[in-house]
């Protein structure tokens, strides 16, 4: 019997976990008869009863496995830990809040087994129920990254993905500390079939992503998959040098024709402020790349497990 590993990151999800398990049981019973699930819950430092519930579930259901982190390492680290432990013929990453509908799994599996794809990816085509400002910035992010990165990150792509073992192994071979799964999925390549679906609201609990956390995450994505901002800093530098060189010539010529015509310090202050701003911006851009390089060279582990019922397999 073929096995499908489901990797489920959880951060304070005690309300969503029971509904998730119920839905998975239903889908496997009704639509995936010939397949056995392997449910790998990755507790990302929850402070509620999530881990307790998962452990209790594991007592009755042998297919339930868990890894519990020593603190909150983030969803990306949880995905990595889950992929590392997955023993299935196929692996899928999915949220526990049922915003990634498990009912799509049979079709996704069909794409891999019958149509020869290596991966089945999902993307949200609507963002209903999401705050307007959040949708606006999400769209702006995808537009920007499309223009400045060679890695094609699909608009609205979710982390929800079903993959074959070669894809899983390729993802694990990328050992970077600053992980941006949406980009990594694309970077490894392989043939992917996309499934589209409308946004569904969370079954229970609340989103774990504040606007600020998402903002930092988007910067992570840009820094990880594009060096265009660094080029932007250089372009701005060249442009401004050119403008100031031109101004010097114009002012010198003017001074020679109409002596004492160039005066006034207010304009100078404006120019200084603008230059200061641009220099700081460029320094900031440089700093972002430096900071990411710094965290990479330290080679700290992507996560630390406090407790686990399943060992790394891959
Ligand atoms: N999650 C996690 N660690 C985090 C944040 C989120 O493991 O630091 C999990 C969370 O429990 C959920 C999934 O990642 O299963 C997606 O989170 P959420 O539903 O809050 O994100 P949204 O769907 O709002 O983008
Ligand atoms: Mg969610």
For residue range 64-93, what is the model confidence (pLDDT) as tens digits? Answer: 999 999 999 999 999 999 999 999 999 999
How far apart are the CA of 231 and the centre of ligand 2, in A?
35
Give the pLDDT confidence score for residue 246 in this predicted structure.
85
Nearest atom, ligand 1, residue 13 CA: 11
Between these two residues, 241 and 50, which has the higher pLDDT value?
50
Give the pLDDT confidence score for residue 128 in this predicted structure.
74
Nearest atom, ligand 1, residue 214 CA: 25
How far apart are the CA of 15 and the centre of ligand 2, in A?
13
Nearest atom, ligand 1, residue 208 CA: 20
Task: Say whether pLDDT at 262 is over 70.
Answer: no
The helix (H) or strand (E) run that includes residue 158 is strand 157-164
Within 6 Å (CB) of ligand 1, which residues are found?
9-11, 13, 44, 72, 74-75, 78, 95-97, 99, 207-209
How far apart are the CA of 9 and the centre of ligand 2, in A?
11
How many Å apart are CA 277 and CA 2, to the nearest integer?
59
Q: Which ligand is nearest to the CA of 10?
A: 1
Mean pLDDT of 35-46: 95
Nearest atom, ligand 1, residue 10 CA: 11
How far apart are the CA of 260 and the centre of ligand 2, in A?
66
Strands of 119-124's sheet in order across: 192-197, 119-124, 157-164, 90-93, 2-10, 35-43, 64-69, 305-308
Q: Is 312 left (phi over 0), alpha (psi -120 to 50) or beta?
A: beta
Residue located nearest, by CA, to atom 21 of ligand 1? 207
Task: Say whether pLDDT at 115 is over 70.
Answer: yes
Mean pLDDT of 259-274: 75
Q: Which ligand is nearest to the CA of 20?
A: 1
User: What structural domains does the chain harbor?
Assistant: 2-145+154-207+301-308 (3.90.550.10)
pTM of this prediction? 0.85
Residue 163 contacts residue 118 (beta carbons within 8 Å) = yes
Mean pLDDT of 275-294: 86
Residue 163's CB: how many other CB atoms inside 10 A? 28
Categorize the per-residue pLDDT at 276 as very low, low, confident or very high, splitting at 50, 70 and 90: confident
Mind listing the pLDDT tens digit for each residue in 121-176?
Answer: 999 887 777 788 888 888 888 888 888 888 888 888 899 999 999 999 999 999 99
Residue located nearest, by CA, to atom 13 of ligand 1? 95
How far apart are the CA of 10 and the centre of ligand 2, in A?
10
Give the pLDDT confidence score for residue 251 in this predicted structure.
82
How far apart are the CA of 306 and the centre of ligand 2, in A?
25
Q: Which ligand is nearest to the CA of 209?
A: 1
Nearest atom, ligand 1, residue 42 CA: 7
Mind listing the pLDDT tens digit for each residue in 289-307?
Answer: 998 899 899 989 999 999 9
Lowest pLDDT segment from 25-29, 220-224, 277-281: 277-281
How many Å apart are CA 28 and CA 88, to the nearest integer?
15
Mean pLDDT of all residues belonging to the chain:
89
Give the pLDDT confidence score for residue 87 in this predicted structure.
94
How many Å apart are CA 78 and CA 270, to the nearest integer?
48
Between these two residues, 205 and 123, which has the higher pLDDT value?
123
């Amino acid at each position: 019997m073929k096995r499908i590993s489901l990797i489920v990151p959880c951060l304070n999800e005690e309300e969503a976990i029971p509904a998730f398990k119920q839905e998975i049981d239903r889908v496997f019973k009704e639509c995936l008869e010939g397949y056995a699930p392997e449910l790998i819950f990755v507790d990302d430092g929850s402070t509620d009863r999530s881990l307790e519930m998962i452990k209790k579930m594991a007592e009755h259901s042998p297919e339930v496995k868990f890894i519990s982190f020593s603190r909150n390492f983030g969803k990306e680290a949880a995905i990595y830990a889950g992929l590392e432990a997955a023993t299935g013929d196929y692996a899928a990453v999915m949220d526990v809040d049922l915003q990634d509908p498990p009912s799509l799994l049979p079709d996704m599996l069909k794409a891999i087994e019958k149509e020869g794809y290596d991966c089945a990816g999902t993307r949200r085509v609507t963002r209903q129920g999401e705050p307007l400002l959040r949708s606006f910035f999400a769209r702006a992010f995808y537009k920007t990254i499309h223009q400045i990165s060679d890695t094609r990150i699909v608009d609205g792509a979710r982390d929800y993905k079903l993959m074959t073992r070669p894809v899983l192994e390729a993802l694990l071979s990328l050992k970077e500390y600053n992980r941006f799964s949406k980009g990594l999925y694309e970077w490894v390549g392989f043939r992917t079939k996309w499934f589209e679906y409308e946004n569904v609201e969370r079954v229970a609990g609340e989103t774990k992503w504040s606007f600020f956390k998402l903002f930092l995450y988007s910067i992570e994505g840009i820094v990880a998959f594009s060096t265009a901002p660094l080029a932007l800093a250089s372009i701005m530098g060249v442009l401004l040098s050119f403008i100031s060189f031109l101004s010097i010539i114009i002012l010198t010529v003017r001074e020679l024709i109409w002596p004492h015509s160039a005066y006034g310090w207010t304009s100078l202050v404006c120019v200084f402020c603008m230059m200061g701003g641009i220099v700081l911006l460029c320094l900031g851009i440089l700093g972002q790349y430096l900071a990411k390089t710094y965290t990479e060279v330290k080679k700290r582990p992507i996560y630390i497990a406090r407790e686990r019922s399943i060992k790394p397999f891959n």
